[in-house]
C-alpha cells in the first residue's frame, strides 16, 4: 500500500508538492490572511456603543477619527514610532560591541556559553523581566538606594519609573537578545583575512569598522532592527507596567478591544501599525540589506 502511494507520488511531482505545502498554505490562509482581511473589514464597520454588537455597515469614520480629534491619535502614533526608533538605535549601539565580543574576542569554545547567556532571559516570562525593572527603578528601588548611598540624591527620586523613559529602557532590555543574535551571526562569519587586509592597506581601526565590519554586519543589524521595531510597535505590557499615563499604540489598541468595546477603531489603529511595519520593511528591502541575509 505504502509502496503504491510512494510510486504515485514519485510519478506526480506536482501532487507531491501540493501535499507537502498544502497544510502550511492552508494554515497561512486561514490564520493569517483571512484574519488580516477580517481585521481590515472590521476597521470599516461600526459598533453599538451600548450592547457592543458589531454593525456591518461600511464607514470611513474610524479612519477619519484616526486623523481627527485634535491630533490625539497621531500624537500617540508619533510617540510610539519615536520610542520604537529610539529603542532600535539603543539596541544596535548595545548589541554591536556585545556581539563583537561574543563572536570574535571570546575563544570559540566559550561562544556557546555566551550565546546561552544572551538567550537565557528569554526563557523566563516577559512579565517577570518587566517587573524586575519596577523593583530597580521604583522609589524604594535599587537605583534610588544606590544613588542615595553614594550621596548623589538625598531623597528617593520618582523620576525613574512610570514614564516614557522607563518604557524605553525596559523595551531596550527585553528586546536586546533579538538584536544581539543576528548581529553575532553576521560578525562571526567575517574572515580574519578581511580585517588583516584592511590593516595591511593602512586602514585605521575606525576605517576598518566603517568600510569593512559595518557593511558586513548590516544584514544582521537590519534583521535585528526588524525584530525590535516590530516588537516595540505592538507591545502593551511594558507601558502598562512601567509607563505613566501617556498612551502608546499597543496599549491604545488593547484598550479599544479589551476595555472600550470599540473594535472597529481598534482595528483601524492595528491597520495603521501594520501599515507602518510594511513601510519599514519596504525601506529595509530597498536598502538591499535583506538580500544578504
Partner 1 sequence: MRRNALLGALLVALAVVVAACGSSNNSSSSGSSTSAAKGINVNGPGEGKLNVVDWEGYTDPSFVKAFEQQTGCQVKSVYAGSSDEMFTKFTSGGGGQYDLASFSGDASLRAIKSGAVAPVDTSKLTNFGSLAPQLQSPPFNTVDGKHYGISFMWGANVLIYNKDKVSPAPTSWSVLYDPKYKGKITVPDNPIQIADPALQFFGQQNPYAISQDTLNKVVAKLKQQRGLVRKYWVLATDFEQLFKSGDAVIGAGWPLMTNDLRKAGMNVGEVIPKEGVTGWSDTWMLSNKAKHPVCAYKWMNYATTPKVQKQVVAVTGYSPANTKTCPLLGKTECNDLHVTDPKYYSSIKYWQTPTTPTNYRQWTDAWAQVKG
User: Residue numbers of the site for partner 1 (CB under 8 A)?
Assistant: 49-53, 69-70, 72, 75-76, 134, 138-141, 156, 158, 161-162, 240, 243-247, 252, 255, 257-262
> What minimum distance in Å lies between the beta carbon of 172 and partner 1?
21
**Residue 128 main-chain phi, psi, to 5 deg:** -65, -40
> What minimum distance in Å lies between the beta carbon of 271 and partner 1?
18
> What minimum distance in Å lies between the beta carbon of 117 and partner 1?
30
> What minimum distance in Å lies between the beta carbon of 77 and partner 1?
13
d(CA 68, CA 76): 12
d(CA 268, CA 66): 8
Contacts of 101 by beta carbon, 8 Å cutoff, 6+ apart: 114
Helices (DSSP H) in 103-191: which residue ranges?
Answer: 108-119, 126-137, 142-149, 164-188
Q: For residues 38 and 282, which CB has a smaller minimum distance to partner 1 in the complex?
A: 38
> What minimum distance in Å lies between the beta carbon of 84 and partner 1?
18
Cβ–Cβ under 8 Å, residues 248 and 183: no
Q: For residues 39 and 290, which CB has a smaller minimum distance to partner 1 in the complex?
A: 39
> What minimum distance in Å lies between the beta carbon of 128 and partner 1?
15
Q: For residues 188 and 240, which CB has a smaller minimum distance to partner 1 in the complex?
A: 240
Q: For residues 126 and 281, which CB has a smaller minimum distance to partner 1 in the complex?
A: 126
Q: For residues 168 and 252, which CB has a smaller minimum distance to partner 1 in the complex?
A: 252
Specify the 3-state DSSP secondary structure of 49: coil
> What minimum distance in Å lies between the beta carbon of 162 and partner 1?
5
d(CA 194, CA 265): 53
Q: What is the DSSP string of 150-171?
A: TTS-SS--SSSSSSHHHHHHHH
Q: For residues 158 and 207, which CB has a smaller minimum distance to partner 1 in the complex?
A: 158
If you search the block for the grid coordinates 565590519, which residue do you land on?
A: 213
Best CA proximity match to 72, nearest among 269, 258, 224: 269
Q: For residues 177 and 243, which CB has a smaller minimum distance to partner 1 in the complex?
A: 243
Distances (CA, A) of 49 to 64, 121, 206, 220, 264: 18, 42, 60, 47, 11
Amino acid at each position: 500500500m505504502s509502496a503504491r502511494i510512494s510510486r504515485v507520488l514519485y510519478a506526480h511531482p506536482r501532487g507531491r508538492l501540493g501535499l507537502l505545502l498544502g497544510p502550511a498554505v492552508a494554515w497561512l490562509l486561514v490564520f493569517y490572511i483571512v484574519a488580516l482581511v477580517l481585521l481590515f473589514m472590521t476597521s470599516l464597520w461600526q459598533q453599538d456603543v451600548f450592547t457592543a454588537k458589531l454593525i456591518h455597515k461600511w464607514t470611513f469614520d474610524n479612519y477619519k477619527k484616526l486623523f481627527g480629534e485634535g491630533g490625539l491619535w497621531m500624537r500617540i502614533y508619533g510617540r510610539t514610532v519615536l520610542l520604537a526608533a529610539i529603542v532600535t538605535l539603543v539596541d544596535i549601539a548595545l548589541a554591536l560591541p556585545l556581539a563583537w565580543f561574543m563572536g570574535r574576542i571570546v575563544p570559540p569554545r566559550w561562544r556557546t556559553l555566551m550565546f546561552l547567556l544572551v538567550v537565557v532571559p528569554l526563557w523566563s516570562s516577559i512579565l517577570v523581566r518587566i517587573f524586575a525593572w519596577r523593583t530597580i527603578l521604583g522609589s524604594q528601588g535599587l537605583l534610588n538606594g544606590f544613588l542615595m548611598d553614594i550621596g548623589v540624591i538625598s531623597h528617593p527620586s520618582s523620576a525613574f519609573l512610570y514614564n516614557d523613559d522607563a518604557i524605553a529602557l525596559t523595551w531596550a532590555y527585553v528586546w536586546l537578545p533579538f538584536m544581539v543574535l543576528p548581529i553575532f551571526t553576521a560578525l562571526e562569519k567575517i574572515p580574519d583575512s578581511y580585517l588583516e587586509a584592511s590593516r595591511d592597506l593602512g586602514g585605521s581601526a575606525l576605517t576598518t569598522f566603517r568600510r569593512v565590519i559595518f557593511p558586513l554586519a548590516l544584514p544582521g543589524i537590519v534583521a535585528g532592527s526588524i525584530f525590535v521595531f516590530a516588537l516595540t510597535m505592538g507591545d502593551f505590557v511594558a507601558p502598562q507596567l512601567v509607563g505613566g499615563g501617556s498612551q502608546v499604540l499597543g496599549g491604545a489598541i488593547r484598550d479599544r478591544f479589551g476595555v472600550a468595546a470599540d473594535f472597529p477603531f481598534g482595528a483601524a489603529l492595528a491597520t495603521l501599525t501594520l501599515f507602518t511595519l510594511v513601510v519599514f520593511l519596504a525601506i529595509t528591502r530597498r536598502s538591499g540589506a535583506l538580500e544578504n541575509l
